Amino acid sequence: MQRWLVLSGLLAIAFSAAADWEFSGSATLELRYYPQAGLDARQYDGGNVSLILEPEFYRSFNDGADTLLFAPYLQADQHDGGRNRLDIRELTWVHVGEDWELRTGIRQEYWGVTEFQHLVDVINQFDTAVDIDNEDKLGQPMVNLSLVRDWGIVDYYLLPGFRTRTWPGVAGRLRPPLPVIGPARYQSGQGDRHVDHALRWSQTLGDVDLGVGWFKGTNREPLLQPAADGQSLTAYYEQMQQLSVDAQATLGDWLWKLEAYHRAASREDYNALQAGFEYTRYGVFGSDADLGLLLEYGWNDSEQLTFNLFQNDLFAGFRLAMNDTQSSELLAGFSQDLDGGGNTLLLEGSRRLGNDWKASLTARWFLADEPRDPLYYFRRENLLEFSLRYFWSNRH
């Protein structure tokens, strides 16, 4: 982390010395409330306040052929020490050639198309301390060469160094019944210095956007093992290979989506799939609003104890976009375990307040009665969350 901070400082100096730098970002006040006490007596009860700062420094030069981006992430939390940190989401130099791009530094990369679960997204580590929905990522050191050809785009990734998944602290919420603490364990003797490799081909074929990916290296999804003290869990990271495919077909008002992979690891070979559709009705009830109906099925045949909560589940929901000047949106969804286990309920709403502010409200419920269901361990983690976010920018 110290060398990252040194690099950040040098880049910030370069930005401040340049005449053509741009500064933007956001600051967020997050309020969470848990109506039930956690399963672990060490977890806090009731409310919690968190402050998040996400500035961005950006510069373009060499007639737009080169860009620099620096995006740190700072968070301070009232109760959860696992959420007090400084991270670097992006620290990237991008050079654009005639039919190629070279992207170097700390970056975030996104693979996949599905809504409720991101199966094939394997480059970055997830920031589980922020949330368990796998929407937030840690920056990954990489060199990414992208080649643009008539028959598709080919991306090669050299990934030096591995980042362990972040977890809520001992007092934190939205975590397993025991906290994940202590040094991580690795199958590779190189530990977090193992160099990973990935390759991806993507192309648009008529109405279908298709991607095929390959990854070899440290699995971003750890196995959770009981620690020697009996009061915590330890994360163990295997080596694995993943061959994946993702596809999205746009057929009128319908979006058909698919993500699937095969993973080969030392303990087991396993497969996973997420597939479904999104159907959008435009101008519902004679208004400017659009209503999207979502349905997906998720399957995973792994028998290892990971943080994957869904192995044979149906996901359904809707997204309502009001298309007003305040960008008002509402997302509601649920998951149902088809093996007779628990389900989850999710409600997310957001609305802009003027030009610089955005208010968001989230409610999440975990409903599970069967101890064999992974969701059973989250049965007291129901929460209400309100956030107020301020945006600023001097971009031209």
Task: Categorize the per-residue pLDDT at 1 as very low, low, confident or very high, splitting at 50, 70 and 90.
Answer: very low
Rounded to an integer, the average pLDDT of 310-339 is 92
Over 70: is that where the pLDDT of 5 sits? no
Residue-level pLDDT at 9 = 52
Q: Which two tokens stand for residue 370?
A: 């069967």
- Token pair recorded at residue 26: 């956001």
Q: Rounded to an integer, what distance in angstroms lies between the CA atom of residue 381 and that of residue 364?
A: 8
What confidence tier does 251 reach under pLDDT thresholds 50, 70, 90?
A: very high
pLDDT for 375 equals 81
Kindly report each contact of residues 109-112 with a partner whose C-beta sits within 8 Å and lies 24 or more positions away, as own/partner: 109/140, 109/142, 109/144, 109/157, 111/200, 111/211, 111/213, 111/244, 111/246, 112/246, 112/259
DSSP state letter for 137 = B
Return d(Cα 317, Cα 294) in angstroms, integer.
Answer: 5
Nearest alpha carbon to residue 347 among 315, 319, 368, 323: 319
Asked whether the predicted pLDDT for residue 2 surpasses 50, the reply is: no
The position carrying tokens 């996104």 is: 110
pLDDT of residue 142: 97
Per the structure, the count of domains in the chain is 1
What is the rounded distance in angstroms from the CA atom of residue 272 to the CA atom of residue 242?
Answer: 11
Strands ordered across the beta sheet of 185-186: 185-186, 233-237, 223-226
Q: How far apart are CA 45 and CA 32, in angstroms?
A: 10
What CATH number does the domain containing 101 carry? Answer: 2.40.160.100
Please report where in the chains the tokens 């006040």 appear, as a residue: 29
User: In terms of pTM, does the model score above 0.85?
Assistant: yes
pLDDT at 27: 98
User: Beta strand pairing status for 233-237 and 185-186?
Assistant: parallel
Q: What is the pLDDT of residues 340-350, one digit of tens each?
A: 778 899 999 99
**Confidence check: pLDDT of 368 > 90:** no
Question: pLDDT at residue 326 above 80?
Answer: yes
Strands 290-300 and 239-251 come out as unpaired
As given in the structure block, the two tokens for residue 331 are 């997302």
Rounded to the nearest 5°, which phi and psi values hold at 182? 80, 170
Query: What pLDDT score was predicted for residue 372?
Result: 75
Lowest mean pLDDT among 124-133, 204-213, 302-311: 302-311
Q: How far apart are CA 172 and CA 81, in angstroms?
A: 8
The stretch 286-314 carries a mean pLDDT of 85
Q: Is residue 285 scored above 90 in pLDDT?
A: no
DSSP states of 165-223 as a string? PB---TT-SSS-SS-B-S--EESSTTGGGPEEEEEEEEEEETTEEEEEEEEEEE-SSPE
d(Cα 192, Cα 215) in Å, to the nearest integer? 16
Q: Does residue 321 carry a pLDDT above 60?
A: yes
Spatial distance between the Cα atoms of 298 and 348, rounded to a whole number of angstroms: 21
**Which residues 6+ apart lie within 8 Å of 306 measured at CB?**
221, 222, 223, 224
Strands 357-367 and 383-393: antiparallel
Looking at the predicted structure, is the pLDDT value of residue 208 above 90?
A: yes
The CA radius of gyration of the chain, in Å to the nearest whole number, is 22
Dihedral of CA atoms 97, 103, 108, 112 in degrees, nearest 10, equals 50
Domain limits at 372?
A: 2-393
Q: What is the pLDDT of residues 127-154, one digit of tens each?
A: 999 998 889 999 999 999 999 999 999 9
Mean pLDDT (the chain) is: 91
| pLDDT for residue 10 | 54
Q: Which string of DSSP letters, residue by residue, matches 304-366? A: S--S---SEEEEEEEEEE--STT--EEEEEEEEETTS--EEEEEEEEEEETTTEEEEEEEEEE
